[in-house]
Amino acid sequence: MSDTALRLDAPGDAAGGVLVIGYGNALRSDDGVGWHAAALLADDRRLAGVEVLALHQLTPELALDMSRASLVILVDASAEGPPGAITVRPLHGEDVGAAGGGGGATSHHVGPGVLLAVARDLYGAAPDAFVVSVGTATMELGEELSPPVAAALPAIADAVAELIEANRRARPARQPRR
């Protein structure tokens, strides 16, 4: 691995950097695409200095890590769209809503928007965030991805790298004070 960190089922500490979270059930075929993408991204040179997590699900504990990041990218499977089709969408204010809305923040599993709302409400910061979704062919028991989803992994890595590069261009590195 390069200087990109891959952590499995452990909260991160983005500290102003970029946080990529691949999540889903790695034992349910294509639902595990987030895990496979995280493993690929952890070794991707374009993501130098990025923290990459592979998680079973999003939990409220991630709100602190997200509040410290300048950019969060979440990679997950989607039952919508053709198998292997990649959709990139920003999380807007209307996606965030109130932290307590819909009961999501009180359950063990929370969606990306609710998690950002918790980061904002509890820690006063919600980073730019994007969801990279991948259409699934199957969610049957198994650790292997279907052929169309496995074939999409390089394009998923490209989409994530493009989001990170755009973020880096928009937020140039701070120069040391003289």
Each of the 178 residues of the chain gets a pLDDT tens digit; together they read 445 555 444 444 445 699 999 999 999 999 999 999 999 999 999 999 999 999 999 998 999 999 999 999 999 999 999 999 999 999 864 454 433 344 444 445 688 998 998 899 999 988 999 999 999 999 999 999 999 999 999 999 999 999 999 998 887 655 444 4
Burial of 69 (0-12, 13-18, 19+ CB in 10 A): buried
162's CB contacts (< 8 A; 6+ apart) are none
pLDDT at 58: 92
pLDDT of residue 57: 92
Say whether domain 5-170 belongs to CATH 3.40.50.1450.
yes
Q: pLDDT at position 110, please? A: 81
Amino acid 37: pLDDT: 98
Residue 40 has a pLDDT of 97
For residue 139, what are its two tokens? 């969610």
pLDDT for residue 12: 47
Of the candidates 63, 7, 14, 32, the residue with the CA atom closest to the CA atom of residue 142:
32
Q: What is the predicted pLDDT for the residue at 77?
A: 97
Q: Encoding tokens for residue 32?
A: 């595990």
Short-list 115, 154, 156, CA closest to 135: 156
Decide the pairing of beta strands 86-90 and 71-78.
unpaired
Q: Where would I find the beta strands (DSSP E) of the chain?
A: 5-8, 18-23, 51-55, 71-78, 86-90, 128-135
The domain spans of the chain are 5-170
The pLDDT assigned to 91 comes to: 86
Predicted confidence at residue 38, as pLDDT, reads 97
Tokens of 158: 């490209």
